Amino acid sequence: MTVVAQIGQILVDVPTMQTNDPYSYAIPAEWEHQLQAGMRVIVPFGRGHRMVDGVVVGVTDVTSFDGTLKPIEAVLDLSPVLNAELQQLADWLADETFAFRITCIQTMLPNLLKTKTEREIAPLDAITPAERATYFPDGTPRPFDPDKLDEATVAGLLKLQRAGKVTVLYHVKNQAAAKTTTGVAPLLPPDKLVEIQHAVAKRAPKQADLLAYLQGMTPSQPQPQAKVVKAAGVSSAVINTGAEKGWLEKSSLEVYRDPFHQPVKPTHPLTLNPDQAKAVAAITAAIDGDDTQNFLVEGVTGSGKTEVYLQSIAVALQQKRTALMLVPEIALTPQMVNRVKARFGEQVAVLHSGLSKGEQYDEWRRIDNGEATVVVGARSAVFAPVKNVGLIIMDEEHESSYKQDETPRYHARDVALWRGRYNHCPVVLGSATPSLETRARAAKGIYTRLVLPKRVNDRPLPTVHIVDMRAEMKSIGDSDFSTPLVAAIQARLDRKEQVVLMLNRRGYSSFVMCRDCGFVLKCPNCDISLTLHMDSHSMKCHYCGHEEAIPKVCPNCHSRKIRYYGTGTQKVETALQAQFPTARILRMDVDSTRRKGAHERILKQFGNHEADILLGTQMIAKGLDFPNVTLVGVLNADTALGLPDFRASERTFQLLTQVSGRAGRATKPGEVFIQTFNPDHYAIQLAQSQDYERFFVTEMAMRHQGSYPPYYFAVQVTASHEDEAVAAKAMYQIVAALKGDLSDQAIVLGPTPKAIARVKRKYYYQVVIKYKNEPDLKAGLEQIRQAAQIPARHGLAVTIDPEPMNFM
Ligand SMILES: Nc1ncnc2c1ncn2[C@@H]1O[C@H](COP(=O)(O)OP(=O)(O)OP(=O)(O)O)[C@@H](O)[C@H]1O
Ligand SMILES: [Zn+2]
Ligand SMILES: [Zn+2]
């Protein structure tokens, strides 16, 4: 007699002992022929039979097996959470990025499926009354824990699941993820509150104010304490008194609603101009066609790229296929989301990091079950479980945020191209300032180039002026605003037009320096200067969060001439307000947008013309479409040019061109002032003429000369350890090992300490390898990754970054 049994191939998650090979486990009888690849399981691992998470990657029938196989402890899903496409994608991703398969799978799943969750099984509409009576005697969802249910029940539920009659719901155990604030609600009826108010009015007028406010509140509807404090004009101490005296009750209140779930007014397709029409026609033909054709949509700022995307998506949907649209996180504003929702309504799902785990999971499920057919999201949305994809769009494809800077170090563009091949659908890369890599591939014919050379309705691009700050400093001294910029701002205020001012924070910080001895206050943990924060009156480290008081005397020479240098957005805001006392100013930077929804609120206020000037960091440079903005000012164009980064010119050109593009997008013409200490630099000069093509040619020549990407491939290996000698030694050993795999064509830079050598108490050493064709390199790196796991337990971390975003 042959015994047919099944074995599950399981990838287990065991940190420091990772491998890309699955382990075999026996499948318990009730799960035989039910277990599928893409389901999550819990399995015993190692000698201690410790329970670890795992994912099924294969199921094999065997006629006999070694009876010592451990059985799977529990199956967490009734159906795969990772479909066939995403399973294959995970394997590719692991290979491409030198990551482990299990890490890739975890990156692809929504957060909720990664945390400890409670599962419940719930009946769906299709269930019959008899089945409902058998499996849901209480009529309500029941906890789903296969361990605690008998075999027959599990088998029965599985049958119902396959028939689409039940579903599994996940609940986060740890609700700390939900955003809450303190709520306040009255505990006494209004007449009682009036009575007490009169009694305390003389002695405690503030308490009386609070009581008066509470009278107007609905008892069952708590309001955020912050709101009560403001509206009643009392301090939180008075609220605490109120709570002690039993007038009111404090509670935990969920405050933030998802800003993207508001209803939107539908829009209809616009009549395309000839350039747009040509682009849509080409993309449409590719959706219809059988071979994969990919596109670069190179359209100047305000040329109507979004309309091209929307009408192309509509074609994919007509053909009963789905569409995926990627945008940089920071451009994922309600303005952008609403444009898509206004066209495609309820079938749009939005994925971004601002959603709570529950909201993310809800959107993910709507995509997984086919309810949502258009997905808009930031980088990780490239893993959305959309099936039968007809079109993938990547807006602002040059954005460096598409590259993940932790393991797996993938670029969403590469993942998008992979999924395009898998689904036989076109990928559209769009930008006013394409990355050099993409533009170079278009030049080679790998992408079809579609050009939108003009703004819609033949509106002109803004006029850009360069202000030489070296000359200006003589007349304006320490001020951040040049004479021509001040005049231009004043003119806009007079005409009731709006202004966008950008302070380039890259490569820049507000640091404290002693004017006598040159001492700069640095983080004790990291090797970088601390940044001054006026809101908290402290010095903060942007890498590790270390915070300390602002020094009054120099710690080095005790001089009192210790001042801050550089310019923070808050300081500029103060100076700007002093210069234009009546102007209404909104500030947008990491500090003012930390709270959920703040980013959206600021943009909405500006859009409603509740402010005259929007002052911000790079985050205001992209995607904004405000018709009343006629002036853009860049306060410091060149702070990033000095960074030891081969993409410094490209980034500067892109940023300046993008931010200039915010001006004059509607009927009124736009003007831009760029303040710089390097007025002759080609990145600045070409940003003035907004001549992307010339910049491309110039920069390509520079890259060729320096043997940089896109002429060369690059890979960066980093070793870090608390002990500098350990990090350095590891790096030298790695380089020695790798050199054996390299031809003499490859260029090895390093080992060197990183530009910021010490971060979070660790020292970093790196090597960058530039190469054209090194067949043995991959295997060599693979070995380093495997070998690095053992020292990882002693605090040495080794990372491999293919195509790093910078070499710093
Ligand atoms: N065919 C058209 N007819 C009239 N208006 C249009 C047309 N196409 C686009 N527009 C409008 O032109 C404006 C600019 O378009 P859009 O924001 O798509 O530009 P963009 O190319 O994405 O620019 P950027 O790269 O600066 O973000 C929008 O307000 C849009 O509604
Ligand atoms: Zn000093
Ligand atoms: Zn630090």
Give the integer Cα–Cα distance in Å for 76 and 402: 31
Degrees to nearest 5, angle at CA 590 with 586 and 592? 40
CB atoms within 10 A of CB 54: 27
Q: What is the pLDDT of residue 780?
A: 92
Q: What is the pLDDT of residue 173?
A: 47
Nearest CA residue ID for atom 11, ligand 1? 304
Nearest CA residue ID for atom 8, ligand 1? 304
DSSP per residue, 547-577: EEEPPSS-TTT--S-EEEES--HHHHHHHHH
Of the given ranges (219-233, 249-263, 475-489, 750-764), which has the lowest mean pLDDT?
249-263
Rounded to the nearest angstrom, the distance between the alpha carbon of 791 and the centre of ligand 3 is 25
Q: What is the pLDDT of residue 418?
A: 97
Domain parsing of the chain, residue ranges: 5-172, 180-254, 260-454, 463-508+567-703, 713-802
Residue 620 has pLDDT above 90, yes or no: no
CB atoms within 10 A of CB 670: 26
Residue 572 has pLDDT above 90, yes or no: no
Give the integer Cα–Cα distance in Å for 483 and 472: 8
Token duo for residue 359: 């909201």
More confidently predicted of 515 and 165? 165
Cis amide bond preceding 581, omega within 30: no
Q: What is the pLDDT of residue 535?
A: 63
Element (H, E) at 244: helix 236-244
Index of the ligand 1 atom closest to the CA of residue 305: 21
pLDDT digits (tens, 9 = 90+) for 163-195: 878 877 665 443 334 456 788 889 888 889 999
Ligand in nearest proximity to the CA of 560: 2
Mean pLDDT of 128-132: 86
pLDDT class for 506, splitting at 50, 70, 90? low
pLDDT digits (tens, 9 = 90+) for 378-389: 999 999 999 999
Phi first, then psi, for residue 467 (nearest 5°) are: -110, 120
Token duo for residue 42: 């819990």
Q: 498, 626 in Cβ contact below 8 A?
A: yes
Q: Which of 270, 308, 337, 338 to mutate to test the pocket of ligand 1 (most atoms within 8 A of CB)?
A: 270
pTM (two decimals): 0.78
Q: 687, 674 in Cβ contact below 8 A?
A: yes
Instruction: Tell the residue number behind the tokens 């609070």, with chain if given.
Output: 210
Q: Could you tell me if the CB of 276 is within 6 A of ligand 1?
A: yes
Residue 110: HSE in the Cβ half-sphere, 13 Å Cα cutoff: 27
pLDDT digits (tens, 9 = 90+) for 643-682: 667 788 899 999 999 999 998 888 899 999 999 888 888 9
Tell me, rounded to whole angstroms, the distance of Cα 504 from its chain centroid.
20
Q: 555, 519 in Cβ contact below 8 A?
A: yes
* Residues near ligand 2 ion, CB 5 Å cutoff: 514, 516-517, 519, 554, 556-557, 559
Q: Could you tell me if the CB of 790 is within 6 A of ligand 1?
A: no
Q: Is 425 annotated as a binding residue?
A: no
Token duo for residue 595: 């709270």
Q: What is the pLDDT of residue 255?
A: 47
CATH 3.40.1440.60 is held by the domain 5-172: yes
Q: What is the pLDDT of residue 257?
A: 40
Burial grade of 647 (CB within 10 A; 0-12, 13-18, 19 or more): buried
pLDDT class for 543, splitting at 50, 70, 90? low
Residue 320 has pLDDT above 60, yes or no: yes
Q: Could you tell me if the CB of 657 is within 6 A of ligand 1?
A: no
803: left (phi over 0), alpha (psi -120 to 50) or beta: left
Q: Go through 588-604 and write b for each residue having 16 or more CB atoms within 10 A of its CB, e for each that does not.
A: bbebbbeebbebbebbe
Ligand in nearest proximity to the CA of 557: 2
Q: Could you tell me if the CB of 710 is within 6 A of ligand 1?
A: no
Q: Go through 671-696 and write b for each residue having 16 or more CB atoms within 10 A of its CB, e for each that does not.
A: bbbbbbbbbebbbbbbbbebebeebb
Q: What is the pLDDT of residue 32?
A: 82
Q: Which residues contact 266 (CB under 8 A, 6 or more apart)?
A: 342, 343, 345
Name the fold adopted by 713-802. Alpha-Beta Plaits (3.30.70)
Name the fold adopted by 260-454. Rossmann fold (3.40.50)
More confidently predicted of 462 and 545? 462
Q: Could you tell me if the CB of 432 is within 6 A of ligand 1?
A: yes
Q: 58, 8 in Cβ contact below 8 A?
A: yes
Looking only at Cα atoms, what is the longest distance across the chain? 98
Mean pLDDT of 222-227: 85
Residue 403 has pLDDT above 90, yes or no: yes
Q: What is the pLDDT of residue 757?
A: 66
Mean pLDDT of 367-383: 93
Phi first, then psi, for residue 331 (nearest 5°) are: -90, 0
Burial grade of 507 (CB within 10 A; 0-12, 13-18, 19 or more): middle
Rounded to the nearest angstrom, the distance between the alpha carbon of 782 and the centre of ligand 3 is 32
Degrees to nearest 5, angle at CA 169 with 163 and 172? 165
ipTM of predicted assembly, 2 dp? 0.94
Q: Could you tell me if the CB of 395 is within 6 A of ligand 1?
A: no
> What's the whole-number average pLDDT of the chain?
85
Mean pLDDT of 698-705: 92
Index of the ligand 1 atom closest to the CA of residue 272: 1
Rounded to the nearest angstrom, the distance between the alpha carbon of 784 and the centre of ligand 1 is 48
Q: Could you tell me if the CB of 431 is within 6 A of ligand 1?
A: no
What is the strand order of the sheet 166-172 is part of? 142-143, 117-123, 166-172
Q: What is the pLDDT of residue 79?
A: 82
Residue 694 has pLDDT above 50, yes or no: yes
Cα–Cα separations (whole angstroms), residue 800 to 98, 401, 714, 754, 778: 7, 18, 11, 14, 11
Q: What is the pLDDT of residue 258?
A: 46
With a pLDDT cut of 70, the percent of the chain lying above it is 89
Nearest CA residue ID for atom 28, ligand 1? 304
Q: Could you tell me if the CB of 434 is within 6 A of ligand 1?
A: no
Q: 184, 195 in Cβ contact below 8 A?
A: no
Nearest CA residue ID for atom 12, ligand 1? 304
Nearest CA residue ID for atom 30, ligand 1? 304
pLDDT class for 511, splitting at 50, 70, 90? low
Index of the ligand 1 atom closest to the CA of residue 299: 21
Q: What is the pLDDT of residue 259?
A: 41
Give the integer Cα–Cα distance in Å for 623 and 640: 21
Mean pLDDT of 291-295: 90
Of the given ranges (17-26, 466-475, 539-548, 703-712), which has the lowest mean pLDDT?
539-548
Mean pLDDT of 421-445: 96
Cα–Cα separations (whole angstroms), residue 776 to 410, 508, 580, 661, 772: 21, 40, 63, 45, 12
Q: What is the pLDDT of residue 348?
A: 94
Q: At what angle do helices 648-660 and 692-706 cross, to 10 degrees?
A: 170
Q: Which of 305, 333, 397, 672 to mutate to test the pocket of ligand 1 (most atoms within 8 A of CB)?
A: 305
Q: What is the pLDDT of residue 423?
A: 95
pLDDT digits (tens, 9 = 90+) for 603-614: 889 999 999 999
With a pLDDT cut of 90, the percent of the chain lying above it is 40
Rounded to the nearest angstrom, the distance between the alpha carbon of 512 and the centre of ligand 3 is 15
Mean pLDDT of 449-462: 92
Rounded to the nearest angstrom, the distance between the alpha carbon of 306 and the centre of ligand 1 is 6
CB atoms within 10 A of CB 636: 22
Q: 95, 89 in Cβ contact below 8 A?
A: no
Sign of CA dihedral 434, 437, 443, 449: negative
More confidently predicted of 397 and 153? 397
Q: Is 557 annotated as a binding residue?
A: yes
Give the integer Cα–Cα distance in Å for 78 and 34: 8
Here the contacts of 153-159 (C-beta below 8 Å, separation 24 or greater) are: 154/30, 155/30, 157/78, 157/121, 158/34, 158/78
Q: Could you tell me if the CB of 259 is within 6 A of ligand 1?
A: no
Ligand in nearest proximity to the CA of 458: 1
Cα–Cα separations (whole angstroms), residue 767 to 346, 425, 770, 807, 808: 49, 38, 10, 9, 10
Residue 752 has pLDDT above 60, yes or no: yes
Q: Is 104 annotated as a binding residue?
A: no
CATH 3.40.50.300 is held by the domain 463-508+567-703: yes
pLDDT digits (tens, 9 = 90+) for 704-730: 988 889 999 999 999 999 888 888 888
Cis amide bond preceding 408, omega within 30: yes
Mean pLDDT of 93-103: 91
Q: Are both 260-454 and 463-508+567-703 of the same fold?
A: yes
